[in-house]
Structure 1
């Protein structure tokens, strides 16, 4: 078994060996011997991201099970964020999107404040195809719908065409719709993207007040 004080260095060693061309599967015993579930999970994700799809699914499942054994909430959120960074390298789109979805669901099981933190910090790692799902969950956070949804909007404007984003935000109700349309207008202006009607005009129509932008 790896000494607990060597958890980070062992995880780095596994990632380094994979980059050097070492067989990922040969590193599984070493990864599983790491005492800390945080680094054990990250190491398993590194391995799963580097083997063929048929073999990687079960390794990913093992890695995600480790998340629940991490005691501190902030470390669980940080771990989930670290996993999203590794997932970006997977070539199998179906596998990648499926694991991204499971990571999101794990974050949403935490208290809302921490789920919000996950979305704000790590939505930038999510694939284009999952941004609509991410937004749908963001707007449904009871206490933090605006803050979390802003992060998704920032990512969306940078990565994806905005027609469906405008449609999704316009279908929301009440003050949240107006505030997010106002924020979308700001992001579009910042990115020099022009649309008609503007997100600002849609926001003002929705709220009939400029208070949303103050």
Structure 2
């Protein structure tokens, strides 16, 4: 059975080739049903698009494909498959034929819940037409316990076509914490698309009276000229929350280059902290704000270019790839991982590929890694950036990285041979989860690091990967 499964991709490709060469449909459908569910569903959809298939039979094959998809047990593989089916249906047959097929896809999505639906929406949302995104958003918001995570990929995919006022009104009906989070995320996506609206989603979120956590999130997506709105809202909170929030906003505005305003807000926060009744809380808040003042006045915190070390190695044969498994914006774990990767790439002579990391100009990112990571290697990362040995990618990396090798405790493909000729890129996940299905599928090779399927902590795995890569 294992040997048979290994040849499923070949059997699928043979079937598709036969279909495109005009082989009889009946025999091909029979062959499709002999495939494992992942390939069977794709084969049935391909057969449904043939010109010699009547509309009713085509719709039946689509329903069969979607029903088959439910039998794919691995969550990431199921999500990947449904994404491929959605991609195929997006330009399936004629525009007149598509609505019933799209409705069948939506019915399939309604059978999913929790993390499974979140994973599928990330694959499906970018592939569905704009007219279905409203229904997709409603489905996401009904995913109890995962509303925010479900809605984000839909908003991201729909942002170019959605009507902001209507969507903002819809999001504002959610529980306050969820509404603030999603309005802030919509604000970020609209800004990236250079779409201006009034009021902005951030302004709408502030009308909901966000708590301290919500204000901190809004600060992470705000532009410098919007931070005054957040300071006004922060001042309306109790003294302990207001003081902490002003400290957070001071750090944000300082990273954006306004050190004077950062000092002003830290000073105001210290005055508010003096109004805190509880002695212990007051002391903790004052200590936090004092550390902020120290960072502002220290040499490391000044807005100067990162110190660039002289690299001990030239650009090497291979690349190390880091995939971002965290949600949200740039955080401390990102900066520490980049500092460690910078040191390894500098020492072993690798290039560095950053996959699905928060968008940021590399020189600015280098300065933040050097100043804020609190880990050795920050200056090496800056040196790699200066030498153009770091590149950013969204989704599957391009040709620059070479042949992809996915590191995974459960390999499903062969390891790269010792005699491999050419450039390799060893991919690893940074964060609470392993590499996603799209990268496991796109990689030509898989590599298990320990020989015993033991998962390693990020820093440990990074060191092992660097050593293994240096021997390939």
Identify the TM-score tier after normalising by the shorter chain.
0.7 to 0.9
Residue in structure 2 matched with residue 98 of structure 1 by the alignment = 103
Q: 1:31 to 1:157 in 2, by over 3 A?
A: same
**Which structure is richer in relative contact order (CA contacts within 8 A, separation 6 or more)?**
1
1:171 is paired with a residue whose SS is: coil
Residue in structure 1 matched with residue 187 of structure 2 by the alignment = 185
1:58 is displaced (CA, Å) by 1.4
Q: 1:175 to 1:62 in 2, by over 3 A?
A: same
What's the CA shift string for 1:146-195, capped at 9, x where partnerless? 12211111111134443432232223231111111111111111111111
Q: Which has the larger radius of gyration?
A: 2
Structure with more helix by fraction: 1
- TM-score, structure 2 normalization: 0.41
Residue in structure 2 matched with residue 158 of structure 1 by the alignment = 160
- TM-align CA RMSD: 2.3
Counterparts of residues 26-65 of structure 1 (less than 5 Å)? 26=26, 27-34=28-35, 36-50=36-50, 51-65=53-67
Counterparts of residues 1-214 of structure 1 (less than 5 Å)? 3-18=4-19, 20=20, 22=22, 25-26=25-26, 27-34=28-35, 36-50=36-50, 51-90=53-92, 91=94, 92-108=97-113, 112-208=114-210, 210-214=215-219
Structure with more strand by fraction: 2
Between the aligned partners of 2:14 and 2:165, the Cα distance in structure 1 is 44
Q: 1:189 to 1:70 in 2, by over 3 A?
A: closer
CA contact (8 A) 1:120 1:151 kept: yes
Q: 1:184 to 1:89 in 2, by over 3 A?
A: same
1:60 is paired with a residue whose SS is: helix
1:101 is displaced (CA, Å) by 0.7
**Larger CA deviation: 5-14 vs 192-201:** 5-14
1:82 is displaced (CA, Å) by 2.1
CA contact (8 A) 2:82 2:123 kept: no
Between the aligned partners of 1:198 and 1:101, the Cα distance in structure 2 is 31
Q: 1:134 to 1:29 in 2, by over 3 A?
A: same
Residue-pair matches, total: 207
CA contact (8 A) 1:49 1:87 kept: no
What's the CA shift string for 1:80-124, capped at 9, x where partnerless? 22211211122323223212212312433xxx1122111123211
- TM-score, structure 1 normalization: 0.84
CA contact (8 A) 2:141 2:151 kept: yes
Unaligned runs of 5+ in 2: 220-472
Q: 1:153 to 1:60 in 2, by over 3 A?
A: same
Unaligned runs of 5+ in 1: none
Between the aligned partners of 2:181 and 2:153, the Cα distance in structure 1 is 13
